[in-house]
Amino acid sequence: MNLERALQTFIEESRELLSAMEDALLALESAPGDGDAINAVFRAMHTIKGSAGLFGLDAIVEFTHVAESVMDRVRSDEIAVDESLIALMLRCRDHLVTLIDDLASGQQGEHAAVGAALVQALQALLGGGSNATVAVATENAAPQPEAGANATTGEGVGNDAWHISVRFAGNLLRNGYDPLSFVRYLATLSEILHVEPVTDALPPAQEMDPEECYLGFEIRLAAGPAQADIEAAFEFVQDDCSLLILPPHAPLTDYALLIATRPEADEQLGALLVSCGALTEAEVAQVLSAADATPELVVAATPAPAVAPAAAPAARQGREATTVKRSSSAIRVDASKLDQLIDLVGELVIAGASAEVMARRSRDRNLMEANSSVSQLVDAIRDSALRLRMVEIGETFNRFRRVVRDVSQELGKEIELTITGAETELDKSVVERIGDPLMHLVRNAMDHGIETAEVRVQQGKPAAGSLKLHAYHDSGSIVIEISDDGRGLDKERILAKAQERGLVAAGQTLSDQEIYGLIFQPGFSTAEQVTNLSGRGVGMDVVRRNIDALRGAIELDSRPGVGTTVSIRLPLTLAIIEGFLVGVGEAAYIIPLDSVVECIELDHGAIGQQNYLNLRGRVLPFLRLRELFHSRGQPARRQNVVVVRYAGQSAGLVVDRLMGEFQTVIKPLGRMFRHLRGFAGSTILGSGEVALILDVQDLIRTATERHCHAAEIAAECVETV
Amino acid sequence: MEQLTLARVEEGRHGEEEARGSQYLTFSAGGQMYGIGILAIKEIIQYGGISTVPLVPEFISGVINLRGSVVPVVDLAARFSGQPTRPTGRSCIIIVEAQEEDEIQDVGVVVDSVSGVLDFLPADIEPAPAFGTHIKAEFISGMGRVNGHFIMLLNVQRVLALDALLSNGSAALQ
């Protein structure tokens, strides 16, 4: 395997683990007793340490080791989870992120001081406890106090090292584990004094299944690591191995139990233990004679700690559960492969449609039935293929928990973040590009929007400010709302500032929406003080540009003293949408069904040349798509109006034909048409033809702009005359 | 289905390659003979199935569904002379790989008929004249000599560099 690529995997995995660790730490803040979260933090440290060891990244190994030790003590309830611990672990996590980033960029930053300070803080937590757990993995010489204690019980054997006895289950190899890798990992914990392979289970060559694992090991490991560390080495194969760990100077009865529980012949195992150096021949003889006499008694009399796997069943279960979750969420697929799959499925749908036509023409009942079940399956495949690219927005939202926590501390404000609609799905490519704009908005809300606790209390609001992130699907788009209950926008100040900057002419009257829109202008900021968070006049215009690039829209609503809500409306690119197929001239177009309200016939007599109609007492402006698109051919005798609604605005679209509902896959129109406005994309119809998807929002917006523009020109003409 | 897929060799910049000797697909569009280096050509398909796109210049015939991907189609005759192609039974769409910045996009080119593949030695290719042709000199990578007359060898990348043109053309909606 290419080491460079393996390293890349390590970097990616570490980043994932660190972000999981952050989530877990933040979860701990609200629920300090959450065993899963503690385990998640522990596992992140542990796994990074293990993998870093493979690459010889000593700095990371040493650092994670100390953090892991602390978390291990937390797991065993020796260290309490409190605010200071969470803060410390968060800082450790950040430090690791820097280390990993350095590794990724190939640069060597100077973070030693930060690391040393953190290690010191962690060591302080570990306090005067066993120095064996504090010791860095590579140091193995430290004598263990507990081991000494064991020795004094008198029953202890002379062996001053750990003894590990492991038998792997037959399916170990099939599950993708290499028995040797565990031995190698143990070598990173401490010095392996001796390894004795146990091959008794190996059948004769002709009966051997090469995919079956028949191996076991008797390992003598120099004292130093804690039992939990050794157990953790086998964490991933807990179900696939039988593990016994005997501490240094373990009582002889433990070894008796070991010999009794293993399937191998007692004498033979005894010999193995001798050659391993775990027992002397005299000790083996003693064990064997005792075992012959009263094996049951030995089992019963065995002190509990020796039976390692049974020691902490609850903790184990927790770990198993999280391990399962991990494996189900960790398939990495190249996005282009998914696109290719979706293209192929699209073709399959079209091919299926023409097969169905053929089947119907043949009038062969059986063929038709078979074909219809095929097309059902094809539909199901298409749906799941499309869903592959969709991700929940929750992951993006959760990033802000940390941001809100840190920023509110920095600002000395109390801010509570509420997240709703985290399960709302949108395309991965959109998710990736929405993070930065959201970050700006969240920071803005915290910095400018929410007041300090004193001001809030004075105004009769709760001392803690509230910040809400909310996502939902609406009219074929996803809406993300960021709302705060702060002071709201100051219209007068925005207007004054805009006039000062020359963005608005003096005396010009603007609607509230227009005034709020001004803050998205480049170089506009009303913050009196420039903080390091926001207020530098970059931000809102960048947000606007990013959202525009995603063909989305941003709106702002604010009430003085009550709060501000920013809503971002984004298209679900590449999502499957329900469309309404209409014909204009010779071409077919698709209107997203979510935005369609109703269809009515256009009454030419009553309308004449005007472009609005009376819809149950309300004025409905409409666009004649034939004229807009310069369509050729004769207009239909009976034209229809499709009433569409977008973000609270209603409008009509006059079309020639209504062709019904159609489920469609959005295909991007490609670079060549990126300047083309009014279309959200294209799709392929059952007939194989391409139909364009109308962007209702864009159509309404451009129509409005054009109208305003025309009115201005008309006004100018009047003036010049 | 009349579909012939031509072998395609890995190469970087079609434009430069064409000036040197190699194989060219010759075809007629708007009554004129042209050639395109075969390295830039993916396949040739029968004319048909074009969906029009409103608000674009006339030389863009529309888009087609090429096995699941939406491919824009350019009418070469309309591009050069403003006269749109009248489709006949022999009309074809040549699928060309057009490179724009660092992205490769397939573009269809409507032609009246495809003639065949000709070998041009470097000695057979004359530089494009500064004037005298009915299309802009920058569209021509060279003039191929065949039996005493010339075939215009096109610089496909220039001809299909539609980005700039479309940004003006599609202002119609605004």
CA separation for the pair A15, A30 (Å, rounded): 24
Q: Which residues of A touch B68 (CB under 8 A)?
A: 343-344, 346-347, 350, 684
A179-196: buried (b, 16+ CB within 10 Å) or exposed (e) per residue?
beebbebbebbbebbebb
Q: Which residues of A touch B49 (CB under 8 A)?
A: 688-689
Find the residue in B nearest to A681 (Cα). Answer: B70
Contact A255, A162 (CB under 8 A): no
pTM: 0.49
Q: If you count DSSP H runs as helices and E runs as strands, how many of each does chain B have, helices first?
A: 4, 12
Find the residue in A nearest to B162 (Cα). Answer: A672
Q: Which residues of A touch B107 (CB under 8 A)?
A: 672
Band the pLDDT of A2: cuts 50, 70, 90: low
CB contact under 8 A, B105 and A692: no
Report the run of H or E that residue A360 belongs to, with start and end: helix A335-362
Q: What digits encode the pLDDT tens for the residues A378-403?
A: 888 877 877 787 888 888 888 888 88
Shortest Cα distance, chain A CAs vs residue B113, angstroms:
23
Q: What is the mean pLDDT of residues A262-289?
A: 76
Q: Which residues of B touch A693 (CB under 8 A)?
A: none
Other beta carbons within 10 Å of B173 = 18
Looking at residue A685, its pLDDT comes to 79
Rg (CA), chain A: 35
- Which of A343, A586, A669 is opposite residue B52, by nearest beta carbon? A586
CA separation for the pair A271, A447 (Å, rounded): 72
CB contact under 8 A, A675 and B55: no
Q: Which of A176-185, A358-367, B27-36 has the lowest mean pLDDT?
A: A176-185
Q: Which residues of B touch A688 (CB under 8 A)?
A: 49, 65
Q: Which fold has domain A576-720?
A: OB fold (Dihydrolipoamide Acetyltransferase, E2P) (2.40.50)
What sign for the dihedral angle of Cα B121, B124, B129, B134? negative
CB contact under 8 A, B51 and A689: yes
Q: Which residues of A touch B65 (CB under 8 A)?
A: 350, 684, 688-690
Contact A48, A60 (CB under 8 A): yes
Q: Which fold has domain A391-571?
A: Heat Shock Protein 90 (3.30.565)
A650 is written with which tokens? 């209603």
CB contact under 8 A, B54 and A670: no
A276 is written with which tokens? 């391993």
Looking at residue A576, its pLDDT comes to 61
Looking at residue A479, its pLDDT comes to 92
Distance separating the N- and C-terminal Cα atoms of chain B:
41
Which amino acid makes up residue A410?
E
Mean pLDDT of chain A: 76
Does residue A321 register a pLDDT over 50? no
Q: What digits encode the pLDDT tens for the residues A491-535?
A: 888 888 778 777 777 777 777 877 887 777 766 655 544 444 444
Q: Which residues of A touch B167 (CB under 8 A)?
A: 675
SS3 at position B46: strand
Those residues with Cβ within 8 angstroms of residue B92's Cβ, 6 or more apart along the chain or in another chain: B27, B44, B45, B46, B47, B110, B111, B113, B114
Nearest to A492 by CA among A480, A504, A481: A504
Quickly tell me which residue has 């009376």 as its tokens: A614
CB contact under 8 A, B54 and A631: yes
DSSP state of A62: H
On the 0-12 / 13-18 / 19+ scale of CB atoms within 10 A, B59 is buried
Report the run of H or E that residue A40 belongs to, with start and end: helix A35-54
CA separation for the pair A278, A163 (Å, rounded): 7
Looking at residue A493, its pLDDT comes to 80
CA separation for the pair A457, A414 (Å, rounded): 12
Top residue of A690, A699, A709 to mutate, by most chain B CBs within 10 Å, is A690
A379 Rama sector, left if φ>0, alpha if ψ -120 to 50, beta otherwise: alpha
SS3 at position A293: helix
- Which of A628, A673, A677 is opposite residue B53, by nearest beta carbon? A673
Looking at residue A200, its pLDDT comes to 78
CA separation for the pair A255, A258 (Å, rounded): 5
Other beta carbons within 10 Å of B56 = 22
**What share of residues in chain A are helix, strand, coil (percent, to 5)?**
50, 20, 30
Shortest Cα distance, chain A CAs vs residue B159, angstroms:
13
Residue A527: phi and psi, rounded to 5, are: -65, 130
Band the pLDDT of B163: cuts 50, 70, 90: low
CB contact under 8 A, A684 and B63: no
Q: Which residues of A touch B173 (CB under 8 A)?
A: 628, 676-678, 702
- Which of A671, A675, A691 is opposite residue B100, by nearest beta carbon? A671
Q: What digits encode the pLDDT tens for the residues A329-382?
A: 667 777 788 878 877 877 787 677 778 778 888 888 999 899 889 888 988 887
Tell me how long chain A is. Answer: 721
Those residues with Cβ within 8 angstroms of residue B1's Cβ, 6 or more apart along the chain or in another chain: B45, B46
**What share of residues in chain B are helix, strand, coil (percent, to 5)?**
20, 45, 35
Class in CATH terms, A3-140: mainly alpha
- Which of B65, B107, B170 is opposite residue A690, by nearest beta carbon? B65
Domains of chain B in sequence order: 2-167 (2.40.50.180)
Shortest Cα distance, chain B CAs vs residue A384, angstroms:
18
Contact A547, A568 (CB under 8 A): yes
Strands A657-665 and A690-694: unpaired
CB contact under 8 A, B70 and A690: yes
A114-131: buried (b, 16+ CB within 10 Å) or exposed (e) per residue?
bbeebbebbeebbeeeee
Q: Which residues of A touch B61 (CB under 8 A)?
A: none
Shortest Cα distance, chain B CAs vs residue A631, angstroms:
8
B46 Rama sector, left if φ>0, alpha if ψ -120 to 50, beta otherwise: beta
A434 is written with which tokens? 């929405």
Does residue B14 register a pLDDT over 50? no
CA separation for the pair A322, A315 (Å, rounded): 11
Query: Is A350 an 8 Å CB contact of chain B?
Result: yes
- Which of B68, B70, B162 is opposite residue A669, by nearest beta carbon? B70
Strands A161-168 and A216-222: antiparallel
Q: Which residues of B touch A682 (CB under 8 A)?
A: 63, 70
